[in-house]
Amino acid sequence: MAEKQDITMDKIVSLCKRRGFVFPGSEIYGGLANSWDFGPYGTELKNNIKQYWWKTFVHGRDDMIGLDSAIIMNPKVWEASGHLENFQDPMVECKNCHERFRADIVDLSASCEKCGERRGFTDFKQFNLLFRTHIGPTEETSSIAYLRPETAQGIFINFDNIVNTTRKKLPFGVAQIGKAFRNEITPGNFIFRIREFEQMEIEYFFNPKKENWEEKFEMWLESFKKWMNDIGVDSKKLYFHDIEKEELAHYSKKTIDVEFDFPFGKKELFGLAYRGDFDLKNHKISYTDPETQEKFIPHVIEPSLGVDRMMLAVLVSAYTEEKTEDDIRTVLKIDKKLAPIKVAVFPLMKNKPELVEKAKDIFDKLKIDFMCEFDDNGNVGKRYRRQDEIGTPYCVTVDFESLEDGAVTVRDRDTMKQERIKISELQNYFKNNLQ
C-alpha cells in the first residue's frame, strides 16, 4: 500500500481530471486561472457530502432547521456586518514581476514564488475581498451590490422570520448550504482556495444566561469530529488549533481552526467559533423569551465548513495505491455513502446480446434504489480498474453461467474478492452492504 506521504497533489488532480471529478474551468477557451468545474462524479460526491451534512445536522436533530437565502442581498447587510469595511487581506506586490500575494501568507524575506527574483515586495495595502456587481441596467454607485462572501449573514438577517414562522425556542440552530464568493488575492492548491466556493454553515443561537457556552461549543466540536469520522476523513491528519487569546477576533471568546494535513501542508479545513452577540447586534436584532418576556440578544456558535475543502480532504483520505502482482492499483477507498456510484453493472462481453440484455435488466432494477452505472466497454479487468478509481464499492458482472444459474459475480472494491450472488438476492445484498 502507498505510504500516505506518496500522495501528491499531482496524483489527486490527475485522478480528478482523468475520472471526471473536477475539470479545469473554461478549458476549451484556454481556461480561467483557479476556476474549476465539477464533473459527473465530482458532482455526485459533493452532493453526497452536502446531503449527509444536512441529514446529520438538520434532519437528525430536533433543534435545527434549514434555510436557503439569496446570494445578492441589500448592500446594507455588508455595511452592518462589517464586511464592507473590514473584509480585507493585506496585499503586497513583487517589485520585479508585479505578481500580488497575501502579505500574511507569503515569506517577505524570500524570493518571489512566481518569478524567482529577490527584488523584494512593495509595502502592503489592504485589499477588500468582496466581489462587486451592479443591479439593473445602470452602472451607478447606487446600483452597486455584492456577491455574498459567506452564507452566514443570510441566516442572521432572517432570524425574526424564522422565530416567527417555526415557533423555535432557544437554543436552536439554522443551517444553510450555498455558494460564496471571495476575490482571493492568492487562490490556489486546486480546489482548496477558490474564488467561487460552497459553504455549509450553522448558526446555533442560545441564551447566554441559561446555557453554558463551553458545553455547547464542546457539543458542536464532538458532533463534527464524529461527522468527519463517518465520512472517512483521516483522523490522523486532523489538528485542532485553539486560537490564542491575543489572536482571537474581538467578539470571540473561543475559536478552533480545524486543520487537515493536505499534501501541500497543514491548512484550515473549517472553523468553529463562539461569536457572542456580535452578528445579531450588528443587525439590531433581539429575542424575547416567550416565558419570561425578557428581551435580549442571543449568542451564537458557528461551525463554518467549506464543501470544496471537505471534498479535497475526503479525496486525500481515500486515495490509495496498492501493489498488485503485476502493477499498482489506484483505488479511492471512499466511504460507501459518499461513493458517487454504488454499483457498476457489466455484461462480460459487449457483443453477446443475451448477456447485455440480462445486465441491462439488472441495472434497471438496481438503479431504482442505488446510484448505478452500466458499462460494457473494454475488458472486465479494465472496467474494474476504472470503477476502483471512481471509488465504486461493488461491480456486478453477468457472464454465461448467469444465464444458467441465475447468479452473478459481485466484486468488492477494497478486498477485490468476488462472490456469486443470486440475481433475486442482489437488492437485499446491496441494501445490507451499502448502509
**Distance of alpha carbon 403 from alpha carbon 43, whole angstroms:** 36
**Distance of alpha carbon 257 from alpha carbon 224, whole angstroms:** 12
Question: Residue 202 forms beta bridges with which residues?
Answer: 175
Q: Which is nearer to ligand ATP, 275 or 299 (CB)?
A: 275
- Spatial contact of 392 and 343, defined as CB atoms under 8 Å apart: yes
Residue (of 156, 213, 177, 167) closest to 56 by Cα position: 177
Q: Which is nearer to ligand ATP, 90 or 423 (CB)?
A: 90
Q: Write the CB contacts of 310 (distance below 8 Å, at least 6 apart in sequence).
A: 49, 200, 231, 233, 269, 270
- Of 182, 275, 299, 386, the residue at the interface with ligand ATP (CB under 6 A) is 182
- Of 279, 308, 388, 389, the residue at the interface with ligand ATP (CB under 6 A) is 308
Binding flags for ligand ATP, 131-150, as an x/- string (CB under 6 A): -------------------x
Question: From the CB of 149, what's the least distance to ligand ATP, in Å?
Answer: 8
> Could you say whether residue 90 binds ligand ATP (CB under 6 A)?
no
Question: From the CB of 125, what's the least distance to ligand ATP, in Å?
Answer: 18
- Of 194, 231, 380, 396, the residue at the interface with ligand ATP (CB under 6 A) is 194
Q: Which is nearer to ligand ATP, 312 or 331 (CB)?
A: 312
- Of 57, 172, 197, 260, the residue at the interface with ligand ATP (CB under 6 A) is 197
Amino acid (1-letter code) at residue 192: F
> Could you say whether residue 44 binds ligand ATP (CB under 6 A)?
no
Cell of 61: 436533530
Q: Which is nearer to ligand ATP, 276 or 306 (CB)?
A: 306
Q: Write the CB contacts of 163 (distance below 8 Å, at least 6 apart in sequence).
A: 287
**Distance of alpha carbon 352 from alpha carbon 362, whole angstroms:** 16
Q: Which is nearer to ligand ATP, 308 or 388 (CB)?
A: 308
Q: Which residue is nearest to ligand ATP (CB)?
A: 306
Q: What is the 3-state secondary structure (H, E, C) of 30-57?
A: CCCCCCEEECHHHHHHHHHHHHHHHHHH
Q: Strand 343-347 and strand 328-332: pairing?
A: unpaired
Segment interacting with ligand ATP, rule: CB under 6 A, options 52-60, 240-248, 305-313, 329-337: 305-313
> Could you say whether residue 259 binds ligand ATP (CB under 6 A)?
no
Q: Which is nearer to ligand ATP, 299 or 309 (CB)?
A: 309
- Of 309, 383, 386, 413, the residue at the interface with ligand ATP (CB under 6 A) is 309
Residue (of 307, 311, 304) closest to 233 by Cα position: 311
> Could you say whether residue 392 binds ligand ATP (CB under 6 A)?
no
> Could you say whether residue 75 binds ligand ATP (CB under 6 A)?
no
Q: Strand 394-398 and strand 418-422: pairing?
A: unpaired
Q: Strand 88-93 and strand 125-128: pairing?
A: antiparallel
Segment interacting with ligand ATP, rule: CB under 6 A, options 41-49, 62-70, 303-311, 344-352: 303-311
- Of 270, 278, 319, 384, the residue at the interface with ligand ATP (CB under 6 A) is 270
Segment interacting with ligand ATP, rule: CB under 6 A, options 16-24, 50-58, 192-200, 417-425: 192-200
Half-sphere exposure of 66 (CA within 13 A, CB side): 16
Question: From the CB of 365, what's the least distance to ligand ATP, in Å?
Answer: 40
Q: Which is nearer to ligand ATP, 307 or 341 (CB)?
A: 307
Q: Which is nearer to ligand ATP, 267 or 365 (CB)?
A: 267
> Could you say whether residue 53 binds ligand ATP (CB under 6 A)?
no
> Could you say whether residue 304 binds ligand ATP (CB under 6 A)?
yes
CA–CA–CA angle 147, 149, 151 (5° rounding): 100
Question: From the CB of 132, what's the least distance to ligand ATP, in Å?
Answer: 17
Q: Which helix (H) or strand (E) holds 111?
A: none
**What backbone torsions phi and psi does residue 238 show, to the nearest 5 degrees?**
-95, 140
| Letter string b/e over residues 375-413, b meaning 16 or more CB atoms within 10 A of that residue's CB | bbeeebeebbbbbbbbbbbbbbbbbeebeeeebbbbbeb
Residue (of 219, 226, 221) closest to 240 by Cα position: 221
Q: Which parts of this chain interact with ligand ATP (CB under 6 A)?
A: 150, 182, 184, 193-194, 197, 199, 268, 270-271, 304-306, 308-309
